[in-house]
């Protein structure tokens, strides 16, 4: 995914992305954090998420997991990442699994409905829309993964970018 905007001269394929601005509340998460490269990350996130689910299904405090979704938080373009699950509150660290929080505040958001390999296009659309409408991007961005459709396996991904108002 890398940085927000397309490289010079690159045209985005025609796609319809509805971007909205809203205020979101901070959301507690159980995560595994890591520094990666964009080339390494596709092979890293699965084992990271498996550690979180192993904790939630095993030694997690009762009631910590209710019906949260998988998340990925990109703190920067290194990327320093957190991969995990929405939970109901904080907890003591358990091995590599630690308590964290998705940020709250003003965000630009869109729902990615296409192939997951094209999620970068949705991120770019949110960034380009934000800049075109006078907003400045501010801070880490994240994704919240929806439930998969039992018949097709398809799932939507909600993309969030923090904003500074114009």
Section 23-29 average pLDDT: 97
Query: Considering the entire predicted model, what is its pTM?
Result: 0.88
Section 8-31 average pLDDT: 77
- At the topology level, CATH places domain 20-164 in Multidrug-efflux Transporter 1 Regulator Bmrr; Chain A (3.20.80)
Q: What is the pLDDT of residues 139-164, one digit of tens each?
A: 899 999 998 887 777 889 999 999 99
CB 140 within 8 A of CB 74: yes
- Take residue 21 and report the two structure tokens written for it: 């601005």
Query: Structural domain boundaries of the chain?
Result: 20-164
Residue 8 has pLDDT above 60, yes or no: no
Q: What is the pLDDT of residues 62-87, one digit of tens each?
A: 999 988 999 999 999 999 999 999 99
- Report the percent of the chain where pLDDT is more than 90: 77
Considering only the C-alpha atoms of the chain, give the largest distance between any 2 of them, rounded to a whole number of Å: 52
């Amino acid at each position: 995914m890398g940085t927000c905007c397309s490289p010079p001269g690159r045209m985005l394929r025609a796609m319809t992305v509805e971007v909205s601005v809203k205020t979101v509340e901070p959301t507690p998460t159980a995560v595994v954090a890591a520094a990666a490269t964009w080339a390494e990350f596709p092979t890293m996130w699965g084992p990271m998420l498996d550690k979180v689910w192993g904790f939630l299904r095993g030694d997690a405090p009762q009631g910590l997991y209710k019906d949260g979704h998988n998340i990925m938080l990109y703190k920067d373009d290194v990327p320093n990442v957190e991969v995990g699950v929405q939970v109901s509150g904080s907890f003591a660290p358990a091995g590599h699994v630690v308590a964290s929080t998705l940020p709250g505040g003003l965000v630009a958001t869109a729902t990615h409905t296409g192939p997951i390999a094209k999620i970068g296009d949705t991120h770019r659309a949110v960034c380009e829309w934000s800049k075109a409408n006078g907003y400045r991007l501010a801070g880490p961005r994240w994704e919240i993964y929806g439930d998969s459709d039992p018949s097709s396996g398809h799932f939507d991904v909600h993309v969030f970018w923090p904003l500074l108002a114009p």
